Structure 1
Amino acid sequence: MNRLSGTLAALAAAFLATGIATAAPAADRPDPVSTFTLDNGLQVVVVEDHSAPVLQHMLWYRAGSADEPLGSSGVAHFLEHLLFKGTDTLAPGEFSATVAANGGQDNAFTSYDYTAYYQRVAADRLELMMRMEADRMKNLKLSEEDIATERDVILEERNQRTENEPRALFSEQMGAAQYLNHRYGLPVIGWRHEMEALDRDAALNFYRTYYSPNNAILVVAGDVTPERVRELAETYYGPIPANPDLPERLRSQEPPQTAARRVIFKDPRVAQPYVSRSYLAPERDSGAQEKAAALSLLSEILGGGSTSYLADKLQFQNQVAIYAGAHYGGTSLDATTFDFTIVPENGVSLEEAEAALDAALADFLKDGVDPEQLERIKTQYRAAEIYAGDSLNRMADRYGRALSSGLTVEDVKAWPAVVQAVTAEDIMQAARDVLRPEASVTGWLMRAEPPETVTEAATETPAEEVNQ
């Protein structure tokens, strides 16, 4: 969910209340989003915005780290790096150099359910972007030197972003404890020992399996027309054959979770200890988005900012925390998590902070939803939807993430209305369903004590805890 804050939120709410923000009724405005599918299975989404002569060209593959073979964690992200190597017509690095020479920007990213590549360029450069992106969909060339060089790059990336960051290491352990059987419990970048073993065969096997038009979504947002996008897509992507052996997207699913888990992570580099809590939660499903909408609003009510329920209870009333937040990211192919973070005040222990969180959640389940707060959040949500339409990046990103995670264009269009239809009772039912201790992991990120001060009693580990 996109959040507005401060003056922007107040102005947006005022505009919406007076009708200024919606100069024309939604029914009177043409739908800027259209979609079609090529004969080879490539799904294309066009988001028209003629306010400036620029566009964003994005290609999303329905292949992320959760689709990797066992023992090859990190190969999806590894392949993302390798796609910037050469083809028969492009030298290594030439793709990005060409984008830059044409005044654009490009990059890529990998998550659990998708890998995406994008370019932001002037509108008249669309054909060039399609030609190059279609080329590397099937014509990637990889030498052993490319493999060795880029493997070192991703290992160094893990060093910088994970090994040198206690919060990232802690997050890895939380994910591994939360998911008993699903691949979401593995880090997207991969476990280091498996990354070190990635080779040319692993990368090419993943590439040949998943990088095909019938496993991809092309999103073009900006100063374009559907007719022009279709013409170019059929020219450059159309001749690429579909993969007839594309595997069905089946993952190992979670068994019933029947035991609360705890993670204690200690590191001398920790500057700010905090408590983290995650609950297994349902994802946003096509044609059935109501639960996800209720959980999205629940996360805003409980921990969406300084006026949230937890902020009021823990930061202002009891003054046990300097930060209390909640998060729910429902756009995923399989079950996701509902998360809390509590950063205690100086002098407040993690045990006290956790107890305060538990007490506040128990109070919320008794108090229920404040109708005024719910209406205020819905108003802010409507404003955020309006402002999102002004961002090519956000619109292209919204459709790409949704479609690569099992949703449809119709689901994305329906989402704002689904959110507005959520009732207070829907939210309370979602809270009761999800906030179950049996499906939770509670983690403490702690500063490690000097070895000479650690007593034998302090190093005893309860059987249900995972220490590092």
Structure 2
Amino acid sequence: MLGRLGAGLAFALTLTLPAAADEPVTTFTLDNGLNVVVIEDHRAPVVVQMIWYRVGAADEPPGHSGIAHFLEHLMFKGTEKVAPNAFSGIVEAQGGDDNAFTSWDYTAYFQRIAADRLDLVMEMEADRMRNLRLTEEDVATERQVILEERAQRTDSDPSALLMEQMRAAQYMNHPYSIPVIGWRHEMEKLSREDALEYYRRFYAPNNATLVVAGDVDPATVKTLAEKHYGPLEPSDGIVPRVRPQEPPQLAERRLVLEDERVSEPYVFRTYLAPERDPGDQKTAAALTVLAELLGGNGQTSVLARALQFDRKVAVYSSAFYDGTSIDDGTFGIAVVPVQGVSLDAVEAELDRTLDDFLKTGPDPAALERIRTQVRAGEIYARDSVENLANSFGKGLSVGLTVADIEGWDEALSAVTEADVMEAARMVLNRKNAVTGWLTRPAAEGEARQ
């Protein structure tokens, strides 16, 4: 991971590489272990500061699911310098905005603000890295907030419930099975002591990456980082993230979720799929292109043409993959049948289409078009300083290097038909899959749709 070379030096690593749109990227590491990435983009006097903690839902202590996301909420409760719940208001008063998000592998906080306000937001972010203050009332109030969030976003949404159940079935041993929001019965018991123990261990400079992107000078960022983050003490609780791994999957796992609230039944399938690996992104790039070929376009993709236009058994189909994770992720496919076509029938047509693809491969012209579109999409996304900061922060948080992140669009452009087919044959294996049906309960005497 970036910053492990030369630990103990004031600035253990410094290098400059061209970003996708020719923005210089400078990296260095502070004495206390904080990794810093500076991405220059001087087109507008705006800056994005992001702090990425290398801890997420997959790193939670057993029985404490949801603590990573819970702490994300509690981080806005204030310090001795910043009053409770005042953080976002201060940023907004300066003309900026802020937010935070939690995933399985990381938790991130960011502010987007005028470049001349960087000193202020950096001081505030550094302050709450080690100086958070929590009362029992804060914890009780915010615990109710996250329980309500689960009720609204998961418990009241049949699609979210299906995905949650399928993920738990996909990962029998790996903590990726744990929902980021947490299991309700464990969320209800999260305490102030749980939050502070987790915070003190993981929220520390030697477990974080600071990304500053926009109209900034690396020397100035270095000075500000030393001033605000430099004095913070590292944590002695940071150890390599070695997680339980999945045993070989020997058979397809299937489940059916029936819910009266379902308006459109559908088939959803996920396959275990390899992640982007440091120094070796070939397979992940091929899977990214494969997802676009199969289901990236509602008009021209393989699934759309076969299921929606040729056989007219589906009204919607898609495929997706994101390999930016520490351990194996998933490759997913979804199909919504037309009214009157059963889930069993549309799944059979899906399997027929996939079998045909595995035998014949992609149309060469379509492959070239998709490969170009995917790479162009990656490059265009980096036209935003926020997207740039997100790309670097996310990648570095899961163990990729600056060179890996910069080389991703080149890896996509190098994908061949042979690469796509090798990846497809490796991943699209029913023994490696979880297939879920989301449907309404059948009325008495009625066949399941």
In the superposition, the TM-score normalised over structure 2's length comes to 0.93
Q: For residues 417 and 218 of structure 2, what CA distance do their matches in structure 1 show? A: 40
Query: Counterpart in 2 of 1:263?
Result: 255
- Counterpart among 401, 414, 417 of residue 407 in structure 2: 414
- The sequence identity of aligned pairs, in percent, is 60
- The SS at the match of 1:45 is strand
Q: For residues 382 and 267 of structure 1, what CA distance do their matches in structure 2 show? A: 40
Whether 2:261 is the aligned partner of 1:246: answer no
Query: Counterpart in 2 of 1:109?
Result: 101
- The SS at the match of 2:379 is helix
Q: For residues 311 and 243 of structure 1, what CA distance do their matches in structure 2 show? A: 51
Query: Counterpart in 1 of 2:13?
Result: none
Q: Which moved more, 1:134-143 or 1:365-374?
A: 365-374
Give matches, 1:135-150, under 5 Å. Answer: 135-150=127-142
Query: Counterpart in 1 of 2:88?
Result: 96
Tell me: CA distance 1:157–1:29, structure 2 relative to 1, closer, same or farther (3 Å). closer
Whether 2:67 is the aligned partner of 1:86: answer no
Aligned partners of 1:123 and 1:222 also within 8 Å: yes
Query: Counterpart in 1 of 2:363?
Result: 370
Q: Deviations over 1:25-83 (max 9, x none)?
A: x8998542221111111111111111111111100100100000000000000000000
Give matches, 1:252-291, under 5 Å. Answer: 252-291=244-283
Q: For residues 414 and 27 of structure 1, what CA distance do their matches in structure 2 show? A: 9
Q: For residues 423 and 100 of structure 1, what CA distance do their matches in structure 2 show? A: 47
- The SS at the match of 1:157 is helix
- Counterpart among 134, 144, 148 of residue 152 in structure 1: 144
Aligned partners of 1:278 and 1:340 also within 8 Å: yes
Give matches, 1:13-32, under 5 Å. Answer: 30-32=22-24
Q: For residues 175 and 38 of structure 1, what CA distance do their matches in structure 2 show? A: 38
Query: Counterpart in 2 of 1:41?
Result: 33
Aligned partners of 1:32 and 1:47 also within 8 Å: yes
Q: For residues 429 and 164 of structure 1, what CA distance do their matches in structure 2 show? A: 40
Q: Deviations over 1:281-301 (max 9, x none)?
A: 101111111110010011011
Aligned partners of 1:53 and 1:222 also within 8 Å: yes
- The SS at the match of 2:288 is helix
Q: 1:454: how far off? A: 6.4
Aligned partners of 2:19 and 2:406 also within 8 Å: no
Q: Deviations over 1:128-173 (max 9, x none)?
A: 0100000000000111001100000000000110111111111111
Q: 1:414: how far off? A: 1.0
Aligned partners of 1:268 and 1:449 also within 8 Å: no
- The SS at the match of 1:220 is strand
- Counterpart among 361, 367, 370 of residue 354 in structure 2: 361
Instruction: Work out the number of aligned pairs and report it.
Output: 430
Q: For residues 417 and 30 of structure 1, what CA distance do their matches in structure 2 show? A: 15
- The SS at the match of 2:185 is helix
Tell me: CA distance 1:378–1:78, structure 2 relative to 1, closer, same or farther (3 Å). same
Query: Counterpart in 1 of 2:316?
Result: 323
Give matches, 1:291-370, under 5 Å. Answer: 291-305=283-297, 306-370=299-363
Tell me: CA distance 1:27–1:120, structure 2 relative to 1, closer, same or farther (3 Å). closer
Q: For residues 21 and 267 of structure 2, what CA distance do their matches in structure 1 show? A: 46
Q: 1:248: how far off? A: 1.9
- The SS at the match of 1:278 is strand
Q: For residues 279 and 29 of structure 1, what CA distance do their matches in structure 2 show? A: 34
- Counterpart among 362, 385, 388 of residue 381 in structure 2: 388
Q: Which runs of 4+ in 1 moved over 3 A?
A: 26-31
- The SS at the match of 1:294 is helix
Q: For residues 44 and 187 of structure 1, what CA distance do their matches in structure 2 show? A: 30
Q: Deviations over 1:98-156 (max 9, x none)?
A: 00110111110000000000111011110001000000000001110011000000000
Whether 2:57 is the aligned partner of 1:59: answer no
Whether 2:65 is the aligned partner of 1:73: answer yes
Structure 2, unpaired ranges of 5+: 1-17
Tell me: CA distance 1:29–1:277, structure 2 relative to 1, closer, same or farther (3 Å). closer
Aligned partners of 2:19 and 2:25 also within 8 Å: no
- Counterpart among 432, 435, 441 of residue 434 in structure 2: 441
Q: Deviations over 1:192-237 (max 9, x none)?
A: 0000000011111110111001110111111111111111011100
- The SS at the match of 1:354 is helix
Tell me: CA distance 1:206–1:377, structure 2 relative to 1, closer, same or farther (3 Å). same
- The SS at the match of 1:448 is coil
Q: For residues 387 and 20 of structure 2, what CA distance do their matches in structure 1 show? A: 23
Tell me: CA distance 1:357–1:28, structure 2 relative to 1, closer, same or farther (3 Å). closer
Structure 1, unpaired ranges of 5+: 1-25, 459-468
Tell me how large the CA RMSD over aligned residues is.
1.6
